[in-house]
Amino acid sequence: MLFDLTGKTALVTGTSGGLGAAMAIGLAEAGASIVAISSSNSNSTVEAVRAIGGQIEQISADLSQADTLESVFERAVSCFGKIDILVNNAGIIRRAPAAEHSAKDWQDVIDLNLNSVFYLSQLAGRHMLERGSGKIINIASMLSYQGGINVPGYTASKHAVAGLTKALANEWAGRGVQINAIAPGYMTTNNTAPIVADEARFKSITDRIPAARWGTPDDLKGPVVFLASAASDYMNGHVLNVDGGWLAR
Ligand code: NAD
């Protein structure tokens, strides 16, 4: 029962594939109704949720456009009448050495990976604080701790996401709203396809993972259900590493 999400509505961003799609399906498997927001719609996520008898509504929106987020959030609330869980998953990565990193790449990454996370958390936070309960789960990264190579904007955004998780938890933990983050290790998705395609890099990363394999999107189903459910009610401002032991090495 601690993990049961029946009657809850989860808003998940970046659900057209990868980690967001798997987390939306995992939350639906635990009983939540899903509002799925992505820049591009995905019938496969909708079909997977409906196949298990779940409810899902899809909204197509570019979350990097800060001035549209209020109306996007209102549309999301109107789907099932409330939002109990927000999973801030949508994110992009731009790879270029720091000396040549363009201002556009920097700005695009910060707009989506950081600014949309704050603005959506603020909108959801107000909605949850009014009702005295809610769960916000941010998707951080190993680059919330480490520097990475050729991804300065991404690293800056993910360090900031870890800090924001703690900052909001300090303000809202006493008012029934839990905010935590998941830091995935190396997971096979579009986001990491260029690294997987680089045989030498892929091998050196795999060799360093104690679990001896990359993660799959399904590896996040359990952690996201845990952080979305009553099972984690006394967890606030925590960044949960789901990394096959990468950081323990
Ligand atoms: P992905 O590229 O497979 O999926 C990204 C999702 O975000 C897609 O659904 C896409 O439609 C959506 N999206 C992109 N731009 C958007 C925009 N402007 N507005 C709305 N939606 C937009 O990537 P992924 O690997 O599944 O990454 C999901 C999250 O996990 C990201 O925040 C990423 O930084 C993080 N992450 C991924 C890994 C990994 O190894 N794959 C590791 C750590 C953290």
pLDDT for 70-123, tens place per residue? 999 999 999 999 999 999 999 999 999 999 999 999 999 999 999 999 999 999
178 bridge partner residues? 135
Q: How many CA atoms lie within 13 A of 113 on its CB side?
A: 27
Identify which of 11, 15, 19, 154 to mutate to test ligand 1's pocket (most ligand atoms within 8 A of the CB): 19
Residue 145 one-letter amino acid: Y
How many A from CA of 151 to the centre of ligand 1? 15
Concatenate the DSSP letters of all residues of 134-193 into one string. EEEEEE--GGGTS--SS-HHHHHHHHHHHHHHHHHHHHHGGGTEEEEEEEE-SB-SGGGH
How many A from CA of 24 to the centre of ligand 1? 13
Split at pLDDT 50, 70, 90, the class of 40 is: confident
Please tell me the residue having the least CA distance from ligand 1 atom 32: 91
Please tell me the residue having the least CA distance from ligand 1 atom 6: 14
Query: Which strand (E) or helix (H) includes residue 125?
Result: helix 116-131
Helix and strand numbers, DSSP H then E, in the chain:
9, 7
Asked if the model's pLDDT at residue 42 lies above 80, the reply is no
Q: Supply the Cα-derived Rg of the chain in whole angstroms.
A: 17
Which residues surround ligand 1 with Cβ inside 6 Å? 13-20, 38-40, 62-64, 89-92, 112, 139, 141, 184, 186-187, 189-192
Split at pLDDT 50, 70, 90, the class of 65 is: very high
Contact 17, 218 (CB under 8 A): no
Domain ranges for the chain, please list them: 9-238
Superfamily of domain 9-238 in the CATH hierarchy: NAD(P)-binding Rossmann-like Domain (3.40.50.720)
pLDDT at 137: 99
Q: What is the mean pLDDT of the chain?
A: 97
Q: Is 32 exposed, middle or buried (0-12, 13-18, 19+ CB in 10 A)?
A: buried
How many A from CA of 21 to the centre of ligand 1? 10
Pairing label, strands 9-13, 134-139: unpaired
Q: Supply the DSSP symbol for 26.
A: H
pLDDT at 41: 78
Q: pLDDT tens digit string along 126-152?
A: 999 999 999 999 999 999 999 999 999
pLDDT at 92: 97
Rounded to whole angstroms, how far apart are CA atoms 163 and 61? 26
Q: pLDDT tens digit string along 197-229?
A: 999 999 999 999 999 999 999 999 999 999 999
Identify which of 118, 143, 186, 189 to mutate to test ligand 1's pocket (most ligand atoms within 8 A of the CB): 189
Q: Supply the DSSP symbol for 81.
A: S
Which atom of ligand 1 is the closest one to the Cα of 217? Answer: 26
Rounded to whole angstroms, how far apart are CA atoms 164 and 104? 23
Split at pLDDT 50, 70, 90, the class of 240 is: very high
pTM, entire model: 0.98
Mean pLDDT of 155-181: 98
Which atom of ligand 1 is the closest one to the Cα of 88? Answer: 32
Is-catalytic flag, 234?
Answer: no
Split at pLDDT 50, 70, 90, the class of 187 is: very high
Please tell me the residue having the least CA distance from ligand 1 atom 22: 39
How many A from CA of 42 to the centre of ligand 1? 14
pLDDT at 50: 98
Which atom of ligand 1 is the closest one to the Cα of 62? Answer: 19
* 133 token code pair: 């309960």
Pairing label, strands 85-88, 239-242: unpaired
Which atom of ligand 1 is the closest one to the Cα of 21? Answer: 9
How many A from CA of 174 to the centre of ligand 1? 31
